[in-house]
A and B are shown apart, each in its own frame.
Chain A
Amino acid sequence: MPKRKDLKKILLIGSGPIVIGQACEFDYSGTQACKVLKQEGYKVVLVNSNPATIMTDPEFADRTYIEPLTPEFVEKIIKKERPDALLPALGGQTGLNMAAALSKEKVLDRFGVELIGVDIDVINKAEDREQFKEAMTRIGLYVPPSGYAHSLKEALNFSRKLKFPMVVRPSYTLGGLGGGVAFNKEEFMEIVTRGLDISPKSEVLVEKSVAGWKEIELEMMRDKNDNVIIICSIENFDPMGVHTGDSICAAPAQTLTYKEYQNIRDAGIKIMREIGVNAGGSNIQFAVNPENGKVAVIELNPRVSRSSALASKATGYPIAKIATKLAIGYTLDEIPNDITKKTPACFEPSIDYVVVKFPRWTFEKFPGTDPSLTTRMKSVGEVLAIGRTFKEALQKSIRSLEIDRYGLGSDGKEDIREELLNSKLSIPNQDRVFYIKYAFERGMSVEEISSYTKIDPWFLFNIKQLVDFEKGFKCEDIKDITKERLHEAKKLGYSDVQIAYLCNTHEDEVRALRNKFNIKVTFKPVDTCAAEFEAYTPYYYSTYEAEDEILPSARKKIVILGSGPNRIGQGIEFDYCCVHASFALHDAGFEAIMVNCNPETVSTDYDTSDRLYFESLTFEDVLNIVGAEKPYGVIVQFGGQTPLKLALRLQKAGVNILGTSPDSIDLAEDRKRFGSMLKKLNIPQAENGTAMDAEKAKKIAKRIGYPVLVRPSYVLGGRAMNIVYTEESLIDYVRDAAVVSYDRPILIDKFLERAIEVDVDAVYDGDELFIGGIMEHIEEAGIHSGDSACVIPPFTLSKKIIGVIKDYTYQMAKELEVVGLMNIQYAIKDSTVYVLEANPRASRTVPFVSKSIGVPLAKIAALVMTGRKLKNIDFKRIDPTSLGYYSIKEAVLPFNRFPGVDTILGPEMKSTGEVMGIDRSFGIAFAKTQISTNQVFPTSGSVFISVNDKDKDAIIGIARKLAQFGFNIISTKGTGDTLEEKGIKCHKVLKIREGRPNVLDMIKNGEIDLIINTPEGSIARSDGYYLRTAAVLHNVPSVTTISGASALVQGIQEMKYNFKVKVKPIQEY
């Protein structure tokens, strides 16, 4: 049956900001959906609050609303656009929850909007654990015994029946948010309480734990003719008990016989039919008891998911694209397989390689949080690696992570603490795989390690094989290594760095020896069919085999280096830039070649670039690709620090780096060189110095005076950046920082207190400068730019200051000989403009700026890097300092994932994502960002105010306004006294240490709707800390800066008194 002709306009829901559990995989799926719908001739209306997505590029939809993803706002959009249908299943859990809410509120009925791709019954049956359990029981499948609780008491009743350990899962949340495994009553009560709170329906499922069973996932599709196919099976290295997002996974399943696999496949098909998914994809999780093969059904997600993105990249089968086609009426047999062209999409991919997914965590950003891995997802990103064997893929995945490891150990970076061995094996954690290897080195057996870890012995055996190989391979002199041995090592996935370590030499020597022996890397395609048919899609991975399948191409090629796994500080924004570069270069007639290893991204979609290499971004791997492709040049400035770090070495190896030269990049990074450049240009900079050791650091700090801002060089996202107020903490810092970045000095700057921070993104071509955005931060300098809200155009800066900023930007671009993008951060204090730093590369704000002004900065920059001049490129030359509307970016923070971590913002970046709010009114634009981040924006109720002494003057105006708006003001004694002195009425409440009932009780009782609390300095575990963490737990909006509070007040004012908050697509700004 062909596509539906009765539908004309389709509303698509994006997944909003990047959060843990819901990352850019939904940009990937949503972008595919947009493309399909447009190609099929539908009018596409898109809602997503996340500006860093490709899908929100104006050309991907007809009407793009960057508006809050709340039922109220989506209703406004529906009212305005009157779409015929709503497609929610590509927007993750956000999409499904939205569909459920809109249906419940009868919005869909009222406006005659049809849900396509998934219906409400399916959502309910799949999401509601009770209904799901009933459905599974009906078709004779086993579900671990469980019960549903709406209160702690109910939950405790169940706990008496089922024995510990038990899993607690809140209904309608994603990534296992709020859930966990409880081994005793105390833990149980804690998790249940949190879960009840977090679940939108105040429901938790209490379930008998199947921890330790094998975890198997199936990615499936079903069409309206009841054709069901399995795209991919995934077996988790880490057994049940660790959230699948935090598990190392292998595809296809490795340790199932045909019989067990087909049992699961049959069960999967039955489940799809019973739940009724009839036009789309689903992910089903199973647990298999390794003792007897008993299969338990864990859950089904009736939508595309992180796993389906993984399965798509692992097999080459475009699940999101096909799911969209099914939603508009096609059946599987009517859709061709893009990769083989000749065969239909209705088949099950067969693969002839092994795929390993490895999660990327950032526990170092959240000191004090529990680093063990549980059923609650904590990773912020992941990599995928493809090899011909599990061993090869595992090693490749580890070196893709960019944690300064080059494979499974043996790279000279071991950090093993023997005394922790047993606990590191038995309690899942991010280093477990390294400890497993160490355990083998210590002589433990597969069986012993398996009994500690519950990991399948087959996986462990593979690690043992590596350990055994190394024993025979290790040598004092690499000259002893034969060609065969070296080739074998490469086949096992060893990087040159590891081989160098094992043979006591340097990486370059290993490469030279490989060349001498003529051991060549080979590239194989991902073709969905294990070579049974010819593949047309140029999607490759490297391995060491006999045959290389790279086809020669005579076109002029440019390699774009991607940004690797998502992590805090380097995420989707850089992928956005890489994708734009690829599009622009392709359109300009180049062959665009993408290199990246992040399966969640648009850049690793097989039809984004002319060629795709799913590879690690290490020097060795990039040089291998350059060797195979012989490109005209390589672009390093779009992928964040990852490729930038390689620039100098690649250039030395003879690679043509396009755009700003590696020397200029170094000039900007090298404080000394940069400082003298600024001096020469007569541009002010906060006083600073560079220290290699503690003594030097002390001297510098004394010279420039405390507080000082300290950080290592060459980092992104303010990793390990800190504001230091005393000499003692400075010394502590210097000692710890050595770990962060080897051979790199520590930078010390005078910290400009209470300065306004400004970010500038610009493109320079050698002659002309185009400033895309001058962004004024709402939070003052000292809070990482990635974590602070910023506004285009500047809302408090004078024309004169803006003039100075423009002038400095031009001078620096010229002096640094920038070709392409640059980002400069300024601080303005007492009308002086200081330069904080300049980065001749794409910045995190490029997508936000591009969306705000409607000019694709990254595309323009890519063209400039190929030698085009700005004057020869056609784009709107907008003045970003006068726009007639405000565009605001706000950071989204992951604190709800890390209970116990202080939510105070500082110079180290902690946010995972961002949202944008756009409106003619500053207040409403800001309010929109707050609604997008918190879902709630109180315009009445009770506000709790408690500020430090420095902020007491500034809070008065804010409190007065809030009182005028009708807020009931609650305050602690100190702040309260100040307010009362000024005639502002407030209720006083006890601080936590003053007794009870105190403010914490009020938060817990839901008596507070808004918190304004500025930190009191460095007293650990102060009242403020408990307050802020309680606020996170109970989802009460909380502001920790005065500037944030003033913006909030403006927002409340506008929301309260401007009755018509409007929605408008970015195409109309």
Chain B
Amino acid sequence: MLEDGKLFKGENIGCSGETIGEVVFNTSMIGYQEILTDPSYCEQIVTMTYPQIGNYGVNSVDVESDKIQAKGLIVKEFFDYYSNWRAEGNLGDYLKNYNIIGLAGIDTRQLTRHIRLEGAMKGIISTETEDESELKKKIEGYPSIIKRDLVKYVTCDKPYIYNPKKGDYRYIIVAVDFGVKMGILKCLDWEGFKIIVVPASTKPEEILKYNPDGIFLSNGPGDPAAVNYAVTTIKELIGKKPIFGICLGHQLLAIALGAKTYKLKFGHHGGNHPVKNLETGKIEITSQNHGFAVDEESLKDIAGTGCKVTHLNLNDNTIEGLKYVDINAYTVQNHPEGKPGPHDSRYVFSKFTELIKNFNN
């Protein structure tokens, strides 16, 4: 059931029980395992718009974190039977292993349209009761995703070095973990960085103590405005080191500099969004997963940072990338690592190397 009382009946997949979260949809036709394990889906129930899910099973490699992060999965047709040479098991067992409740056999297009028209909202999947008023009460009693710090659920407990065996590296960076996807760390690793991953609550002076060449602000779930402590930290880092941010990191840096964010009606969740690079004029097909965006109007207030919009989403003209010339920082809203999604924007990782090189010179 959705927050507004709309009811969908289907079959239970994965675990049974009850789960509540913000119901969002994702239009990627493949990549369900990456989506489920993406920490940005914390506290969200994901509806896959592609109707057949489970076809190629699951494996231990195609994960974005060490567990399923989404709070639930909604699909049209669910397959426990799978076929793929890399598969190690089926999706049903995978959901069960992580205690995830899912719903199958519903008109997911109807649900998607409902969210598109009415906006993203909370919802509950229940195998316990069909009593509508009881379900409604449960949803109402559950906190909204707005103004809620979700980062604390997904950030790491203590600092660690990604790929500690790595011998050759050009620069050391600190990645502030707001719920970082493995794919992003992998891309930074390939780019030649030695990465120290630190919890979101790490104090700025601790970060600077590592004497990194650059600081990376990761993606993560939820409302950026709710992560005050991160904003405070970032404020202290601005200008001191080159900064690169993705998704939530992009929003947090903007807020730290004084810009504003707002909630999109139903967010961007899919692997086919066209983004125009305003510097080259080229279009990138990108992977997207965010419910909030940086307000373009508010950028006027921070003109002093040399702020410039570098990327625009062609579907709705929202900001997809920012560059702050005067403080040696740049950020992107989309997911250049893909996972799942296209690789068109992967070049932004190498921009970080350039930025650091120029900064050092």
User: B-contacting residues of A (Cβ < 8 Å)?
Assistant: 225-227, 229-230, 252-262, 265-266, 290-293, 332-333, 342-344, 346-354, 388-390, 456-458, 461, 524, 529-534, 545-547, 549
Contact = CB atoms under 8 A, between A and B. Distances in A.
A554 to B, nearest CB: 23
A532 B282 contact: no
Contacts of B25: 530-532
Interface string B18-32: 000000010111110
B274 A461 contact: no
Contacts of A456: 83
B112 A350 contact: no
Interface residues of B, number: 54
Interface string B172-211: 0000000000000000000000000000000000000000
A194 B136 CA distance: 72
A255 B84 contact: yes
Q: Which of A352, A461, A530, A547 has the most CB of B within 10 A?
A: A530
Contacts, number: 167
A448 to B, nearest CB: 15
A257 B84 contact: yes
Contacts of A354: 51-52
Given A257-B56, A388-B51, A532-B112, A350 B272 contact: yes
Lowest 3 A-B CB distances belong to which pairs?
A258-B31, A258-B340, A547-B110
Contacts of B8: 546
B338 A262 contact: yes
A461 B52 CA distance: 13
A354 B53 CA distance: 12
Nearest to B115: A531
B348 interface: no
Contact of B314 (A225, A226, A344, A352): A344
Contacts of A388: 51, 76-77, 109
B50 interface: yes
Contacts of B81: 457-458, 461
Contacts of B116: 531-534
A352 B82 contact: no
Contacts of B55: 254-255, 458
Given A227-B282, A348-B342, A257 B51 contact: no
Q: Is the interface of B mostly helix, strand, loop or mixed?
A: loop
Contacts of B113: 531, 547, 549
Contacts of B316: 342-343
B49 A347 contact: no
Nearest to A340: B315
Contact of B62 (A226, A230, A258, A266): A258
Contacts of A524: 109
Interface of B: 8, 25, 27-31, 33-34, 49-52, 55-56, 59, 61-62, 76-77, 79, 81-86, 106-110, 112-113, 116, 270-274, 276, 281-283, 285, 314-316, 338-343
A256 B59 CA distance: 13
A255 B56 contact: yes
16 contacts: A225-B283, A347-B285, A350-B270, A352-B109, A353-B51, A458-B55, A529-B272, A530-B49, A530-B50, A530-B112, A530-B270, A531-B116, A532-B116, A545-B109, A547-B109, A549-B113
A349 B272 contact: yes
B29 A351 contact: yes
Contacts of B340: 258, 262
B343 A266 contact: yes
Contacts of B33: 257-258
Contacts of A229: 274, 283, 285
A293 B30 contact: no
B56 A546 contact: no
Nearest to B272: A348
Given A342-B315, A456-B83, A545 B107 contact: yes
A352 B112 contact: yes
Nearest to A344: B314
A791 B79 CA distance: 59
Nearest to A353: B51
A916 to B, nearest CB: 43
A532 B276 contact: no
Given A252-B50, A258-B31, 19 more contacts: A226-B282, A252-B29, A257-B86, A258-B28, A258-B30, A258-B34, A260-B86, A291-B85, A346-B274, A347-B315, A349-B272, A350-B49, A388-B109, A389-B77, A456-B83, A458-B55, A529-B27, A531-B116, A547-B110
B10 to A, nearest CB: 10
